[in-house]
Structure formats: structure tokens, C-alpha cells
Structure 1
Amino acid sequence: MDSVLLAIDPIAFQLGPLTIRWYGVIIAFGILIAFLVAQKEMVKRGFHQEYLTDLLLWAIPLAIIGARIYYVIFKWENYADNPIDAFKIWEGGIAIHGALIASFLTAYVFTRIRKDSFLKVTDIVAPSILIGQTVGRWGNFINQEAHGGEVTRTFLENLFIPNWIIKQMNIDGKYYHPTFLYESVWNLTGVVILILLRKVNLLRGEMFLFYLTWYSVGRFFIEGLRTDSLYLVGDLRTAQVVSLITIIVAVIIFVYRRFILKVKVRYQE
């Protein structure tokens, strides 16, 4: 009972029959902050002020659809008997990898239509994607989901995290790894590094490749702690497989472009 009383109410407020949850509010806030940061850099790099808005009008809804499709594919056993439930996204069940795949495909098509460089655009928005992911993980915190295995309160206290986080990680009388926090801190560190890398003036595409590698390394290890993973086969976690493939592909592309193709176009160009 005590843990229930201490838990943060996942409902932010009611608008008549409409229930607004903190998860949605936090996700929206993360998108807004990410947009403002990316927008400033886009304009600085010579893009029209409405360019990013036009892209997001397609990318955001398609990312939500992609996140749902990805989740349903790897949780099909939950929907096989009643496929209509796959459309009930309000009941929960989305995956960030699905959202990212859909977003990048959307950005690729969008930039091709606009005759712009996909890598130039993704280089610019890479820090903002991590900002959105940094903030978005706190939605999981409010919902008391996407956590790791059971730990002791002493373990959490030794992490020197605030007591209100420790209390929220008390679920039904047991404490759990705050994997949302691990990933949020990892992503925030990546944001700082990416912003600093802008001054290094890497080759075009390398900011994006760094983002893919950085996020995937963190996700690979943090996913191993989680208790709600999607599984590919047996004990093979889908997110870890996708992360490992992403790391390998990103490193191969980096080496190929820099040392074999010897690309000369820089980030600032």
C-alpha cells in the first residue's frame, strides 16, 4: 500500500472525457525541445525556416506508426487471435527502434524529393534526436515501466540518485533498476559530445554515424538489464541484435567513406 501511495499519478489532467497522461506530455515536451535546438542549427546551415516543420509533419505520425508496427511484429503472439487489437495503441506497446527506422526512412524520402542531402540533414538533427530520447525516457519513469530487474534500496541509494526517483522505483513493494535513468544519462552525455563535435567539423555523415553508434552501444548494454524486452528468438533480445547490427554497419560505413571513398565534404559545408 505504501508503494502505491508514493507512486506518481501517470495522469496529468482530464479534459472532459479526454485523459492526458504524463507520458504523452513528456514525449511532446521532448519533441518540442529537440525541434527548437535543431531548428536553430538548420537555419544557421542555410535551410528555410519551415523546412524542419515540413519534415516533422510527416516524420512524427509515421514514427508513431512505425513504433507500433515494430512492437506488434515482435509481440505478434499477443495479437494473433485478435488482430484488431494491434490498432489499439492507446493500450500501450510501442518501440523506439521502430520509430527511428520510420523517421529515418521518412527523412530519406523527404530529402530526396527536396533534392537535399540526407546526411547533411541527419548530421544537423542528430543531437536533437538524442535530446528527444533523453527527455522521453522520463515518460517510462512516470509509468513505472521499462525498468530493470529487482535490486535493493541500498543499491539505489549507492547510486546517489534523488529519493523521489528511488520511491518511484518501488513497484509493488520491490525496487528495480532505473534503466530509464541509465539510458537518459547516456543519451544526455551523447548530446554534449555531439554538440562539441560540431566544432571539430567532421566529414558529412559522421555526426549521424556517431549518433547511431553511441545510442546503440548504450542501448545494447542497458537492454540486458530490462525485464520487458522484445525477443527475436529464445533469449535473443531484439533491441540488442538491432543495436549490434547498427554499430557494425555504422563503423563499416565510417571506415569506407573516410579511408576508401575519401569523402572531402565537411559537416559545415
Structure 2
Amino acid sequence: MFPTIIEIAPFILFGLKLGPFTLHTYGLFVAAGFLLGIAWSMREARARGLSPDTVSDLGFYIILGAILGARALYVLINPTYFWNNPQEILMFWKGGLVFSGGAIMATLFALAFLRIRKENPWLWMDVLAPGIGLGEAVGRIGCLAAGCCYGAVCDLPWAITFFDPESLAPLHVPLHPTQLYHSLAGLICFAVTLALKSKTQGTGQLMGIFLTLFGTLRFVIELFRADYRGDFGPISVTQIIALGAVALGLFIIQHRRRNVL
């Protein structure tokens, strides 16, 4: 695909040497996904009579937690590479964020923020759920551009082949477009949570539905991926996290149903 949008060589301006500057497609789409998710959550907050300013404040901690958690998990499941290349640990803009790790850390940061603000976390979970799905759908286009999160070899009509030497995916072989599968999963979660939000208003169940659906889709998509995501017996570390998301989602749905009825 296209890992780099633009690359500017070093140049002299007013006697100062500037550059080089590189705009990575991955970083652009991940940033766009975050911002679009926050913007949608602000829209949801307004619709529910809540302050959108809380979303913008919360958004900073969500973004910080998501980047730290997503990169930390990626580094943890690739210890040998980063032990030999420690200078690349913070170079997340080139690719290498695990959504599951980001979701965990962002959730912890968000809950801490809401607790400090004395806000109702269940209410805000419902506000944030659709935006998370939308952000995932957009951010995964960056994965496609960078070639990370690539799929296994296949001969399906919709298989994709990478040719750019900077791509993180194997070159010149048709692969499952798992990045697009993830993007579609995000859109499905976004659409389902929007369709059900009027039936779960302020209960927290909408986040439970999101976690159950997203975890299920993530587990299935992992079956078609070929990049290393950590081993845990016959399944990957990210599949374990996906199963945990499903279990947590089902628990939230049942727990909040009892408290609402």
C-alpha cells in the first residue's frame, strides 16, 4: 500500500537546517480515527443533555491511555525485536499498535478520570461506545497502508498484495485483507450501538453490547491473521483478550439489566 504520504528532505531556511520531515499514512489515519471518535462522542453527549466539554477533557486521557497501552502490548508480544532495537519502542507512527492493549489502558484512564470528576461511569460508557467503533473503522485504514496486522496467504477474489518495500506485510503474495476486516468490524459495532442506544439509555448496557460484539468479531478475524500476536497455546494473546472482552461485555449487560429492572 502506501506507508508514507509525503517525505521532505532536509532543507535550509533562514540559515537553519530543517528536516527531514515524513508524514506516515498510519499515523495520519490513527489520529483521524481518534479525533472522529471523540467528535462523535461529543455529539452523543449533546444529544443526551451532557456537557461535550467533558468528552474533550476525557478524550485527552483516552488518547494517552490508548497509545500507551496499544504500544506497550505490541512491544510485550515482540520482546526480542525491541530488545535488539530499543530506539524503536516509541516509534508507533510507523505501525505497531495493538487495539486490545489500547482499549484496556484507555478504559482504566477513563474510569479514573470519571471517578475524579464524580461522573456516572455507566452513563458515559453509553456515550462513548459508538465513537470507539467509528474510530476503529477509520484507524484500521492506517494499518492497511502500513501493512501491519496483515493476513494469511489466500486466493480469494478480494485478497490484497503489497508491493511497497517499506510495507510491514510480506510482499508479492495475496493476503487476507484483515485490516479491512477490522475496519468493517468497527463499522458493524458503530451501526449496532447506534441502532440500540434508545433501548439502553444511560444503563451502561450499550458498552456491554459493544464489548460482546467487538470481542467476538476480533476473535474470528484473528483466525485469518498471519502476523505475530503472542502465543498462548493454540490461540494468540489478542484472542485471549478478545474472549475477556466478550465475558466482560456479557457481565455488564446482565449486571446492568438487574440494576435497571
Residues 1:194 and 2:193 aligned together: yes
Deviation at 1:251? 1.4
2:114 maps to what in 1? 111
Instruction: Please say if residues 135 and 186 of structure 2, whose CA atoms lie closer than 8 Å, have aligned partners that are also in contact.
Output: no
1:36 maps to what in 2? 39
1:264 maps to what in 2? 260
2:225 maps to what in 1? 226
Distance 1:203 1:124, change over 3 A: closer
Instruction: Please say if residues 229 and 239 of structure 1, whose CA atoms lie closer than 8 Å, have aligned partners that are also in contact.
Output: no
Whole-Å Cα distance in 1 between the matches of residues 211 and 173 of structure 2? 34
Residues 1:12 and 2:5 aligned together: yes
Residues 1:179 and 2:178 aligned together: yes
- Paired letter, 1:22: T
SS in 1 for 2:44: helix
Whole-Å Cα distance in 2 between the matches of residues 105 and 94 of structure 1? 17
Matches within 5 A, 1:23-102: 23-80=26-83, 83=86, 85-90=88-93, 92-102=95-105
Instruction: Please say if residues 169 and 176 of structure 1, whose CA atoms lie closer than 8 Å, have aligned partners that are also in contact.
Output: no
Whole-Å Cα distance in 2 between the matches of residues 251 and 38 of structure 1? 23
Instruction: Please say if residues 229 and 238 of structure 1, whose CA atoms lie closer than 8 Å, have aligned partners that are also in contact.
Output: no
Give deviations 1:204-228, integer Å, cap 9, x for gaps.
1110001111110000010111011
Whole-Å Cα distance in 1 between the matches of residues 193 and 213 of structure 2? 10
Deviation at 1:167? 5.5
Deviation at 1:190? 1.8
Give deviations 1:16-73, integer Å, cap 9, x for gaps.
4220111111112222222221111112223223211111122212221111111222
Deviation at 1:135? 0.8
SS in 2 for 1:145: coil
Distance 1:122 1:253, change over 3 A: closer
Instruction: Please say if residues 38 and 125 of structure 1, whose CA atoms lie closer than 8 Å, have aligned partners that are also in contact.
Output: yes
Which moves more between the two structures, 50-59 or 218-227? Answer: 50-59
Deviation at 1:142? 1.1
- Paired letter, 1:18: F
- Paired letter, 1:115: K
- Paired letter, 2:254: V
Whole-Å Cα distance in 2 between the matches of residues 83 and 139 of structure 1? 23
Instruction: Please say if residues 129 and 206 of structure 2, whose CA atoms lie closer than 8 Å, have aligned partners that are also in contact.
Output: yes
Mark the runs of 5 or more structure 2 residues left unpaired by the alignment: 9-18, 165-169
How high is the TM-score relative to the length of structure 1? Answer: 0.82
2:236 maps to what in 1? 237
- Paired letter, 1:14: E
Mark the runs of 5 or more structure 1 residues left unpaired by the alignment: 1-7, 160-164
Which moves more between the two structures, 186-195 or 120-129? Answer: 186-195
Matches within 5 A, 1:148-187: 148-152=151-155, 155-156=156-157, 159=158, 166=160, 172-187=171-186
Instruction: Please say if residues 182 and 221 of structure 2, whose CA atoms lie closer than 8 Å, have aligned partners that are also in contact.
Output: yes
128, 132, 155: which one aligns with 1:129? 132
Residues 1:146 and 2:141 aligned together: no
- Paired letter, 2:151: G
Count of aligned positions: 246
- Paired letter, 1:31: F
Give deviations 1:89-108, integer Å, cap 9, x for gaps.
45543211111111111110
How high is the TM-score relative to the length of structure 2? Answer: 0.85
RMSD: 2.4
Overall identity of the aligned pairs, in %: 28
Distance 1:68 1:257, change over 3 A: same
| Runs of 4+ that moved beyond 6 A | none
Instruction: Please say if residues 150 and 175 of structure 2, whose CA atoms lie closer than 8 Å, have aligned partners that are also in contact.
Output: yes
Which moves more between the two structures, 115-124 or 88-97? Answer: 88-97
